[in-house]
């Protein structure tokens, strides 16, 4: 998770849309490969590792900027 977080932040800072998509697809593939019973744990890990920077001053802008990408 930490590696995904670092890649996501780095791609965002560099405005590397391809890198952002790659990280998000990787997270999606990981989520789909996990059995449905354990997906809840994946969400907890995303939150615990603060992958989308909810625990920082960027909490709203980081996620909304990701969602605004076409």
The four Cα atoms 23, 26, 32, 35 give a dihedral, to 10 degrees, of -100
> Are the C-beta atoms of 46 and 52 separated by less than 8 Å?
yes
* Listed residue (7, 47, 9) closest to 23, CA to CA: 7
Q: What is the pLDDT of residues 11-23, one digit of tens each?
A: 988 989 899 899 9
Q: What is the pLDDT of residues 45-65, one digit of tens each?
A: 888 888 877 777 655 677 777
Domains of the chain: which residue ranges?
2-68
Please give the helix or strand (H or E) that residue 44 lies within, else none.
Answer: helix 39-48
Q: Is the pTM of this model over 0.85?
A: no
Share of the chain above pLDDT 70, in %: 94
| The predicted structure's pLDDT at residue 59 | 58
């Amino acid at each position: 998770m930490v590696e995904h977080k670092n890649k996501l932040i780095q791609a965002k800072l560099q405005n590397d849309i391809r890198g952002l998509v790659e990280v998000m697809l990787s997270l999606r593939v990981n989520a789909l490969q996990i059995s449905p019973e354990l997906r809840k744990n994946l969400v907890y890990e995303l939150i615990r590792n603060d992958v989308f920077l909810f625990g920082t001053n960027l909490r709203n802008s980081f996620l909304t900027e990701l969602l605004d990408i076409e």
